[in-house]
Chains A and B, each alone.
Chain A
């Protein structure tokens, strides 16, 4: 069986990895640009399972278990340092208690912590402006580049073929079966097609009359020069400030600062904004006063590929017999990627995924109106 995966990002490569691991021999991955050009290498490398829908929590728990296997087997930097959502207001702690109740009911051990524990976990935080935090000990961070490069090398060594600079312009189908992917470099035939091309999936699938509601929403992270370890946690989030400014530190020592600044969907990735520095740095420097003394080294953009219910689109695309999708991760593609590989491989080889909530994430949900519900809607 010959499989063609469109998109050599972290999702596409984990799908390839899983299929090759299960003994498939012909796995081909095409990319419009270079491997990891999109969100795969633009994200800030954090993971958690403390979400507000059953689907996200259950899938992400399994994904974290996979990440820990990968850490052991590949020897890459992946650490459960915990997430901290910081409350600047007293009443936010009530919201956090509700959230923790929901997480705990699904086996995610989040808890509300006071200022003392917070300052022992984050010694450089300005305790005079914080009231406490929600702590998720199972969340963490990883070295994105190291993990992605290792995955890329492994897929190739296992016999996967990765072809860069080959954008799929359209698919050709007949009688409910996709026959080939047409690129400027020629036509690629296969038995099974998987579209894992983030926002690019939209145009590819439009060519066979399938509408995929993905809107890429720009994000703006900054990174500093490397310093000794000052941010101990996986990610620290300033919950009570609009746009939830957040901060993490890489294994290399650089501090990554980001905030969800409102921007037009589909804004090109080279449209850096002059106001980003001030918007991002100011609130975070209130939380971490030492930031006044650091140098900002670089600023880049990346997309969150948003779907209407902020959950990915997974699984078979009907009415086609041999077409699958894994796209629209809405900012969570890296952390889900190992389980994405497992689930899509299950669908291709066995007709259904091993984790049944994944079936709630099929494309038809946007037509039937069965969108994923956020159970714990807060704030």
Chain B
């Protein structure tokens, strides 16, 4: 094939939305990230349009094996968040407000 040799870890993509490789996961664990939720957020695994459907279980298994934990322990605080698939914002810009009324809080406290 020729060309530069790429290590198998670097060539193994775990999260296709955000191009996270096996090497990225291994490096993050070596850096001291020993909590899966933190690792997942740090590498943005499951942050893309697939919402984790493609990558979450693979990443969780790799992490569980490396840390000698069960898959259940690794995923204990994972939560699925809506929408299930990305929604075009335009659907919410033109419709008449079905929810009009005094539902917003008064000023103050926003960051």
Interface residues of A (CB under 8 A from B): 33-37, 41, 43-44, 46-48, 145-146, 148-149, 152-153, 156-157, 164-165, 217, 224-225, 235, 237, 239, 241-244, 246, 252, 254, 259-262, 270, 272, 275, 277-282, 285, 291-300, 304, 306, 310, 330-332, 334-335, 374, 379
- Give the size range of B's interface with the partner: 35 or more
Given contacts A237-B110, A260-B110, contact A296 B87 (CB under 8 A): yes
Q: DSSP majority for the A interface?
A: mixed
Q: B104 touching A259 by the CB < 8 A rule?
A: yes
Mind listing 29 A-B residue pairs with CB under 8 Å? A34-B37, A34-B77, A43-B111, A47-B111, A148-B38, A152-B33, A152-B38, A242-B104, A243-B104, A243-B105, A246-B110, A259-B104, A260-B109, A260-B110, A261-B105, A262-B104, A275-B103, A277-B87, A278-B92, A279-B99, A279-B104, A282-B92, A282-B93, A282-B97, A297-B48, A297-B49, A298-B81, A298-B83, A300-B81
Number of inter-chain CB pairs below 8 Å: 147
Within 8 A of A (CB), among B39-59: 41-42, 44, 47-49, 51
Q: B107 touching A379 by the CB < 8 A rule?
A: yes
Interface residues of B (CB under 8 A from A): 31-35, 37-38, 41-42, 44, 47-49, 51, 76-77, 79, 81-83, 86-93, 95, 97-99, 102-111
Partner of A149, one of B38, B86, B107: B38
Chain A's nearest CB lies how many Å from the CB of B35?
Answer: 5
Given contacts A252-B44, A261-B104, A310-B109, contact A157 B82 (CB under 8 A): no
Chain B's nearest CB lies how many Å from the CB of A339?
Answer: 16
Distance in angstroms between the alpha carbons of A235 and B97 in the assembled complex? 25
Q: A261-B105, A279-B104 are in contact. List 13 more A-B contacts (CB 8 A).
A: A34-B37, A148-B38, A152-B38, A156-B32, A246-B110, A275-B103, A278-B97, A291-B93, A296-B88, A297-B47, A297-B51, A304-B109, A306-B109
